[in-house]
């Protein structure tokens, strides 16, 4: 494959990655990355009696904690190096992995 063929293949791969990202946004809706303190404020001020939180732990060299919740049609995501003190009334679903589209 010549230089032109390699460039075309790279362009095609980039276009495919872009389409994957676009499809992820269409299926998820807007995902807002927020700092942990803002995430906790959303949970406590949302007015929901039992806010739903999806949580995953991971990391290679140190443990990271990832959290996801929804509020008014948006998804809010945060990542922390320490476990968050979630409201006691929160319904927490622990999962093996939480994947958020990276744009």
User: If we measure between CA atoms, which residue out of 102, 94, 100 comes closest to residue 57?
Assistant: 94
18 falls within a domain: no
Total domains in the fold of the chain: 1
- How far is CA 30 from its chain centroid? 10
Q: Identify the top-confidence range among 6-10, 48-52, 64-68.
A: 64-68
CA dihedral 76, 77, 83, 86 (to 10 degrees): 10
pLDDT averaged over every residue in the chain: 83
Residue 5's pLDDT band (boundaries 50, 70, 90)? Answer: low
- Residue 11 in this model has a pLDDT that exceeds 90: no
Please report whether residue 24 resides in a domain. no
Q: At residue 94, does pLDDT exceed 90?
A: yes
Question: Domain span at residue 81?
Answer: 31-95
Mean pLDDT along residues 78-93:
95
In a domain, 21, yes or no: no
**In a domain? residue 14:** no
Domain assignment of residue 4, yes or no: no
CA distance 83 to 73: 25
pLDDT per residue as tens digits for the range 52-78:
999 999 988 999 999 999 998 889 999
| CATH number, domain with residue 58 | 3.30.720.90
70 domain-assigned: yes
Q: Say what the pTM is.
A: 0.71
Residue 15 lies in a domain: no
Between 9-13, 66-70, 76-80, 94-98, the lowest mean confidence (pLDDT) is in 9-13
């Amino acid at each position: 494959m010549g230089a032109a063929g390699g460039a075309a293949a790279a362009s095609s791969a980039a276009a495919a990655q872009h389409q994957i990202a676009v499809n992820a946004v269409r299926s998820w809706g807007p995902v807002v990355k927020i700092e942990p303190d803002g995430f906790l404020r959303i949970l406590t001020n949302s007015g929901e009696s039992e806010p739903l939180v999806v949580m995953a732990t991971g990391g290679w060299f140190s443990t990271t904690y990832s959290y996801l919740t929804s509020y008014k049609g948006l998804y809010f995501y945060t990542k922390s190096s320490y476990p968050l003190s979630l409201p006691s009334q929160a319904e927490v679903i622990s999962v093996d992995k939480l994947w958020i589209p990276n744009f």
